[in-house]
Amino acid sequence: MIPVQAAFPVSGGGNSSNAVSSAGNGTNDLPGSDLSGTEVDDLTPEQLAAQWEEEKPPAAGALANVGSSLVVIGVGIGAVVLSIAMGLGTPSAPQPGLWPFMISCVMVALGLFQLIMGRHNRDAEKFTRMSAAPLTGLVTLAAMVALMPIAGFELPALVLCIIWMRFLGGETWRSTLLVSAVVVAAFYGIFVMALNTSIPHLF
């Protein structure tokens, strides 16, 4: 879905293992690595891949791997415990817990493997100042879900649009207010008037 992730197997289109290494750790030896800001338009595929690699948010450290592995192990162990509580039975006469038990054991094993072998992986992304945007987005979404049954969808949707456009997107107040109003009106028209759905609405 995103260019950066897909960038590495493509440079040159040929030997993919070479491409991986050149995009992964060798951005410095590529001629395109010093072009930030200057002539970005005339790039060879290799330079483009290197540039995508550079624009990628900073990689998270070892802590991210430990953290995500521990979450996986935690979920896995929880599922193991719950599966045992449901009863395992035997392969020929299984109880409901057997299949989830098998999956969660695999999950714990994979989590442990990732914890140890994935130490040097740098495929996680660091949370930066930019991560405040999705967090804000998340809060507005959650608020909207909470408020919709009480207050209808119109006002929460309007607030969500305003916050996303003005504060997350840096639009001007004028266009924010104008577009938000039009968007909410359009949704009202489509979901309430045209499709006649039972979406909670105020008006």
Structure tokens at 82: 């719950």
Angle of helix 98-117 relative to helix 62-86, nearest 10 degrees, comes to: 160
CA torsion, points 202, 136, 145, 124, in degrees to nearest 10? 150
Distance separating alpha carbons of residues 24 and 161, to the nearest angstrom: 38
CB of 29 to other proteins, least distance (A): 19
CB of 69 to other proteins, least distance (A): 9
Establish if 77 lies at the interface with other proteins (CB under 8 A): no
Which positions from 12 through 71 interact with other proteins, judged by CB under 8 A? Answer: 13-14, 41-42, 44-45, 48, 55, 57, 60, 64, 67-68
Binding-site size for other proteins (CB under 8 A) equals: 86
- Of 44, 63, 52, 65, give the one whose Cα is nearest residue 24: 52
Q: Which is nearer to other proteins, 33 or 100 (CB)?
A: 100
Q: Which is nearer to other proteins, 3 or 34 (CB)?
A: 3
Establish if 191 lies at the interface with other proteins (CB under 8 A): yes
Distance separating alpha carbons of residues 177 and 180, to the nearest angstrom: 5
Q: How many CA within 13 A on the CB side of residue 200?
A: 13
Which positions from 127 through 186 interact with other proteins, judged by CB under 8 A? Answer: 127, 130-131, 133-134, 137-138, 141-142, 144-145, 148-149, 153, 157, 160-161, 164-165, 168-171, 175, 179-180, 183
CB of 151 to other proteins, least distance (A): 13
